[in-house]
Structure 1
């Protein structure tokens, strides 16, 4: 039972660390760039691949969001002019999503904030935006 206690303690420590970093990311991304952490992560995954568009199903498989949560996130990004959705010509059930020029610019700006928060918490460096 003693080793189980150690595992549980490590798990709780990991959760605490995640919550601290995620809360700060959420605050700073929202305040500086008008993005939630999920919106930033969606843009980051779209822009981080070498193709002009991705199927929603592929994007959902790469992320921690459910298909419906991703769909709501993409809808907010689309409303803000940061991404656009198009139907797949071969399979009408498939939906592609790609960043707009405004989305690429917002992502570039927000990446600095994102990296500064990560550096502060994961490398012990002070956050500089």
Structure 2
């Protein structure tokens, strides 16, 4: 390995570690502040937001891909959100194995209330780390 390769590798590793640290700090801040004020964790908020942005109900599999959770982890999360009255599940009429998820009125209300705090935490946590033009 040349000195240049070693220097480039060190930069890559440093950038990777910085990315991980920023992600962890942002995730912890989101979890803490969303939980304290709205009873939501970061993943709860992400699911509510994806459902709020969707033009129609989303299949659990499609939602799992969007929020980067396994289907089993997402199913547990959806179960908690459904129990809290924030989402609704329905069976797919065409494919009885499929399950659709929609945002309830209470879920939309909680999402809309939590959204400004979410954006505030992102702005605070990611300040100075945005790419040029972003």
Q: Which ranges in structure 2 are unaligned for 5 or more consecutive residues?
A: 1-5, 129-134
- Over 3 Å off, 4+ runs: none
Query: What's the CA shift string for 1:79-127, capped at 9, x where partnerless?
Result: 0000010000110000000010000000001101101101112236xxx
Other structure's SS at 1:93 match: coil
Max radius of gyration: which structure?
2
Equivalent residue in structure 1 for 2:25, among 20, 23, 37: 20
Q: For residue 64 of structure 1, report the CA deviation from its aligned partner.
A: 1.4
Q: TM-score, normalised by structure 2?
A: 0.89
1:38 to 35, 40, 43: 43
TM-score of the pair, normalised by structure 1: 0.92
RMSD: 0.9
Following the alignment from structure 2 to structure 1, what is the Cα–Cα distance between the partners of residues 42 and 25? 13
Counterpart-to-counterpart distance in 2, 1:49 and 1:123: 28
Bigger RCO (CA 8 Å, 6+ sep): 2
Contact 2:22 2:126 in 1 (8 A): no
Report the 3-state secondary structure (helix = DSSP H, G, I; strand = E; otherwise coil) of the residue aligned with 1:60. Answer: helix
Aligned positions, number: 123
Q: Is 2:120 the counterpart of 1:116?
A: yes
Give the equivalent residue in structure 2 for 1:63: 67
Q: 1:63 & 1:21 partners in 2: Cα distance? A: 16
The answer for unaligned runs of 5 or more in structure 1 is 125-129
